[in-house]
Amino acid sequence: MTQKMTHWFYLALVGAIAVMMPWCGAKGATGSATTRADGRPSPNILFIMTDQQQAGMLSCAGNTHLRTPALDGLAAAGTRFEWAYAANPVCVPSRFSLQTGRMPSAIGMRTNEVQLKVPADMCVQSLGPVLRRAGYRCAYGGKVHLPSTLSQYMMQHGYEKLTPDERDGLAKECVEFLKQPHDRPFFLFASFINPHDICYMAINDLARHQSQPITDNLASRVCEEVLDTARKSGDLDAFIREHGPPLPDNFGIPKAEPEGISLDYVGGRSFRQYARQQWSEQTWRLHRWLYCRLTERVDAEIGIVLQALREAGLEESTLVIFTSDHGDMDAAHRLEHKSVLYEESVRIPFIMAWKGTLPAGRVDREHLVSNGLDLLPTLCDYAGVEPPAGLPGRSLRPLVDGRTVNDWRDHVVAESQNGRMVRTADLKYCVYEHGQHREMLIDLKRDPGEMTNLSDSPEYQDELNRHRRLLSRWAERWADETGRSYMIKPDGDTQPASLPARNR
């Protein structure tokens, strides 16, 4: 894809816009951005996203090895969802899902494929353009990392771009934006990079081991800068013993780990294999320490934005949502980075707060959430406009309002480059594309660290087949052709049935 949209894509966009004009007028289907259908004014929306922050990387979630006062305060003012998952635990697919409300497999996306073409109708119905047509002033700052066709369209027809800075500069630009007078509701998308810089510890460590130069970019330099604090202590081992978080309880490698993880994921990148096989326990603890410090760094940047919101007198008129695009393995199973379907990688923080309107201090440990699928319907609900038709997600508004929702989903699905996952109330099932042992079934209630694969356990065969069936039906309904090609049919099934309408 060149810098200018190709001729075919331009024509497709024009055609899609023309077809959709009755739906996408400034007032939307049920109201305008200034006045909702129920007569109440639509809120401003501040959406804050970090990169590579797993669900456990908040002090309010019980992590005693870091302090996240800004996000703790946000959680205390609203609802934190304990069981929220990324659609795919890697940057571009997850961000595609957040913008479009669709699974990455809807366009055949497996991993960070920025040149993959996004259909015109998905671009038109993406988050920024939808809210802009609803009357919102939409602004975007920080990391984008999307397929080029989608990013080009949403920046031309959805968001005004504040800054490409992903760090302190983004916080400063958000402050200036919030200080401005606003004659209509705004949607501010603030996309911070950290704690993503943690990626460069393993990458640079392997480079040193091979006597190669380390990566020379800002993220790598920030990683090295923070690590220098530990290196300059004089006695690095003593520093780690005193300051390094202990190894996690699930530091070990499951005996029946699928080859889709042990070979495809670990073996696919040399630095992953090096870390898993060569790092000492001290190095893993240093990695965990660095991850905490980078998370604290981005929390401070977020705190600047939230303070500006308060000082501008906008807290009571602004819905604030925080999440991350995916997590990090953080030494679980001797892994770092993301991309796999273990909890540390795929489960992410999700917080919603609106001072004076939403209940404060709630932790939802009941409902399963997909941040990518549910964000667009949720924001449309608050803006008072109908979401695009045919999306698999649902609005979270009834949940944060404290209303009883009897028909909420009983499972949530996530994808990876080479696997699929379905999570139910207590169990989690994964199937991978390659390997002799392609399945993994975990009883999360008994085994939250995912150390025991129950896929061959006789007492769990009924549950294994139930989860195979749930995943197969999901793949059929939402046209996941890639996943369907390697899913294992339940015993006795010849063809999966259609998924009931409410079981989304």
Domain boundary among 371, 400, 429: 400
| CA pair distance 287, 249, nearest whole angstrom | 16
**How far apart, in whole angstroms, are the C-alpha atoms of residue 189 and residue 191?**
6
- Residue 459, domain CATH: 3.30.1120.10
* pLDDT at position 32 over 50: no
Residue with tokens 């020379």: 216
Please give the pLDDT value at position 268: 79
Residue 160: CB atoms within 10 A of its CB come to 13
Residue 403's contacts (CB-CB under 8 Å, 6 or more residues apart) are: none
Q: Specify the CATH number for the domain of residue 338.
A: 3.40.720.10
Residue 44 in domain? yes
Q: Let me know whether 117 and 183 are in one domain.
A: yes
Q: What's the mean pLDDT in 111-126? A: 93
Query: If residue 242 lies in a helix (H) or strand (E), which one and from where to where?
Result: helix 236-243
- Contact call for residues 294 and 52 (beta carbons, < 8 A): no
Does residue 317 surpass a pLDDT of 50? Answer: yes
Q: Return the SS3 of 462.
A: helix
Domain identity same for 366 and 457: no
Is residue 496 in a domain? Answer: no
Q: 80: part of which helix (H) or strand (E)? A: strand 78-81
Q: Are residues 367 and 419 in the same domain?
A: no
Question: For the chain, how many structural domains are there in total?
Answer: 2
In this predicted structure, what is the pLDDT of residue 24? 38
Dihedral angle sign, alpha carbons of residues 96, 97, 103, 106: negative
Q: What would the pLDDT profile of 398-436 be if each residue is shown by its tens digit?
A: 999 988 898 999 999 999 999 999 999 999 999 999 898
Q: 74 and 127 share a domain?
A: yes
Q: Are residues 309 and 422 in the same domain?
A: no
Concatenating the DSSP letter of every residue in 377-421 gives: HHHHHHHTSPPPTT-S---SHHHHTT---TT--S-EEEE-SSEEE
DSSP state letters, 169-191:
HHHHHHHHHHHS--SS-EEEEEE
Q: Which residues pair with 85 in a beta bridge?
A: 347, 370
Both 298 and 372 in one domain: the answer is: yes
Predicted pLDDT at 39: 60
**235 φ/ψ sector (left φ>0, alpha ψ -120 to 50, else beta):** beta
Q: pTM for the whole thing?
A: 0.90
Q: Are residues 383 and 344 in the same domain?
A: yes
Determine which of 268-272, 373-377, 397-401, 441-445 has the lowest per-residue pLDDT on average.
268-272
**β-bridge mates for residue 429, sequence order:** 422, 441
State the chain's mean pLDDT as an integer. 90
Tell me which of 33 and 419 has the higher pLDDT: 419
Confidence (pLDDT) at 501: 33
Find, among 122, 196, 391, 180, the residue nearest to 160 by Cα: 180
Q: So what's the pLDDT on residue 180?
A: 95
261 within a domain of the structure (yes/no): no
How many CA within 13 A on the CB side of residue 125? 21
Domain that holds residue 329: 9-196+293-400
b/e sequence 106-135, b meaning 16+ C-beta within 10 Å: bbebbebebebbbbbbbbbbbbbbbbbbbb
How many whole angstroms from its chain centre is CA 271?
Answer: 23
Mean pLDDT of 147-165: 95
> Among 341, 374, 400, which residue terminates a domain?
400
Q: Is residue 237 situated within a structural domain?
A: no
Q: Is the pLDDT of residue 267 over 80?
A: no
- Residue 248 located in a structural domain: no
Q: Is the domain of 444 the same as that of 465?
A: yes
Strands 84-85 and 369-370: parallel
Which of 502 and 6 is assigned the larger pLDDT?
6
Q: Same structural domain for residues 358 and 418?
A: no
On the question of pLDDT at 380 being above 80, the answer is yes
- The mean pLDDT value for 330-342 works out to 96
pLDDT at residue 269, as a whole number:
85
Give the C-alpha separation, 381 to 37, whole Å: 10
What percent of the chain has pLDDT above 90? Answer: 84
Spatial distance between the Cα atoms of 455 and 463, rounded to a whole number of angstroms: 9
**Residue 2 placed within a domain:** no
Confidence at residue 503, expressed as pLDDT on a 0 to 100 scale: 31
Q: Is residue 4 part of a domain?
A: no
CA dist 347 and 325 (Å) reads 10
Q: What is the pLDDT of residues 63-83, one digit of tens each?
A: 999 999 999 999 999 999 999
Sign of CA dihedral 88, 86, 285, 298: positive
Query: What's the rounded mean pLDDT across residues 110-118?
Result: 90
* pLDDT: which is higher, 200 or 268: 200
Residue that is last in its domain, among 352, 375, 400: 400
Q: Which residue has the higher pLDDT, 30 or 104?
A: 104
How far apart (Å, rounded) are the C-alpha atoms in residues 10 and 170? 31
| Model pLDDT, residue 502 | 29
Provide the token pair at 425: 């109330």
Query: How many other CB atoms sit within 10 Å of the CB of residue 137?
Result: 19
- What does the pLDDT look like over 44-53, one tens digit per residue? 999 999 999 9
- For the segment 14-42, the average pLDDT, to the nearest whole number, is 46
Of residues 110 and 502, which shows the higher confidence score? 110
**Do residues 312 and 424 both lie within one domain?**
no
Separation of CA 52 from chain center: 8
- Per-residue pLDDT at 467 exceeds 90: yes
Which tens digit of pLDDT belongs to each residue from 80-109? 999 999 999 999 999 999 999 999 999 999
Inside any domain, residue 238? no
At residue 36 the predicted structure's pLDDT band, cuts being 50, 70 and 90, is low
d(CA 496, CA 499): 9
Same domain, 421 and 394: no
How far is residue 421 from each of residues 81, 86, 207, 217, 342, measured CA to CA in Å? 19, 11, 33, 34, 9
Q: Is 347 exposed, middle or buried (0-12, 13-18, 19+ CB in 10 A)?
A: buried
Give 360 or 500, the one with higher predicted confidence.
360
Query: Are 298 and 160 found together in one domain?
Result: yes
Mean pLDDT of 272-284: 95
CA atoms lying within 13 Å on the CB side of residue 336: 31
